Amino acid sequence: MLESRRTRVVLTVLLVVAIALITIDFRDGGNSSAHGIGGRLFGPVERVTGDVTGFFRGATSGGEVANLQKQNDELRAELAQAQTSNTNAGQLAKLLHLTGAKYRVVTGTVIAAGGEYADTVTINVGSAAGVGVNETVLNGDGLVGTVTSVTSGTATVQLASDAGATVGVRVAGNGQIGALSGTASSMTGSTSLRLTLFSANAALQPGQELVTFGSVGGRPYVPGIPVGVVSEVTTQPGSLTPTGIVKPFVDFTGLGVVGVVVSR
């Protein structure tokens, strides 16, 4: 009790002295000796206060912040991987419904994309999985392209959008046949396709959908794979055959899981 009273007395005296020093210093424009006395008197208190607040600031910086940032980055990576896995699983489920009983699908994932002068991708399945050249490649949306070369564990796929690719197609509904050609020379090129029907009497209209006509033995293209939809009719006056622009169903710049159609 006595110690507590002494403490209160000391604090009261210090408060009175502080007020007096502030008043004197203010009147003298901050140039009086009272400024220095106040600094010597209260400086230790300020230093202690600064040390305490500095401790608490340090407790939430440096290593702690780095750890929190690391955890945040890991959670973001896990979320992105989960979203990618869900997308790939959805594509896989869809593409397995696009082939008949006479074919099987070898599934793979795109691991590289683009060529200097061609629209191509590399997938992570090859001859060891039964994949060969001139086989149809598709995903859950439709036709992707055809295999042009294989190694034991990989395959190169020429996309249907490549300028060197030509696909035999059929107009869904009326059965008219024609040839569809790519227009791109690299992965950054156009993804529109050019259609030429073989019959001069064929009617071509925007909105008509196309499927693969099929090749002998199902190579390089099996029949009935969705390809795209006519977006524009470009037939010129005097032309012998109808022509048009086709928007493909597949997004060639966003390929993930694909399937190679192999004969049973």
pLDDT at 97: 53
| Residue 51, pLDDT score | 46
- 264 residues of the chain, pLDDT tens digit each: 545 555 555 455 555 455 554 444 444 444 544 444 444 444 444 444 444 444 444 445 567 777 777 666 666 545 544 444 444 445 554 555 554 557 788 999 999 987 666 789 999 999 999 999 999 999 989 999 999 999 999 999 999 999 889 999 999 888 899 999 988 765 555 578 999 999 988 889 999 999 998 888 788 998 889 999 999 999 888 788 999 999 999 998 888 899 999 877
- Quick one: how far is CA 181 from the chain centroid? 28
pTM of the model: 0.63
Q: Which residue, 127, 202, 115, 113, is CA-closest to 163? A: 115
Dist. CA 128–CA 150, nearest whole Å: 10
